[in-house]
Amino acid sequence: GQNGVADPRLRHVDPALFASYGSRLDLPLRKRATHFFTEMARVEQGIAAWQAGDLTRFGELIAQSGESSIKNYESGCPQLITLYEIL
């Protein structure tokens, strides 16, 4: 791989490694990686909440996902951002 990295995709980076060294990334990359790792954790938590029938927690996770998508991943069109703000 490039620069001695076997596979540079985030899915192959241990979350603990990112927690230790993520601050070394430039801000835009760090924010996107933060979204990636927190989203992966939210997916796992969302599965557990759904299976437990905890729709309140599931909804909280969906809202957190929307916030992270907008603030960390910097995605979303004005309409989606407005919808997030309403919810």
Q: Mean pLDDT of residues grouped by 10 in the chain (87 residues)? A: 68 94 96 98 98 98 94 91 86
Q: Is residue 70 part of a domain?
A: yes
Q: Is residue 80 part of a domain?
A: yes
User: What's the confidence (pLDDT) of residue 83?
Assistant: 86
User: What's the confidence (pLDDT) of residue 52?
Assistant: 99
**Domain tally, the chain:** 1
**Chain mean position to CA 66:** 9
The range of the structural domain enclosing residue 44 comes to: 13-20+27-86
User: What's the confidence (pLDDT) of residue 76?
Assistant: 85
Is residue 69 within 8 A of residue 28, CB to CB? The reply is no
Q: Is residue 33 part of a domain?
A: yes
The whole-model pTM stands at: 0.82
Close Cβ partners of 15 (under 8 Å, ≥ 6 residues apart)? 37, 40, 41
DSSP for 9-50, written as a single string: -GGGS-HHHHHHHGGGS-HHHHHHHHHHHHHHHHHHHHHHHH
Structure tokens at 40: 């992966």
Q: Is residue 5 part of a domain?
A: no
Q: Is residue 46 part of a domain?
A: yes
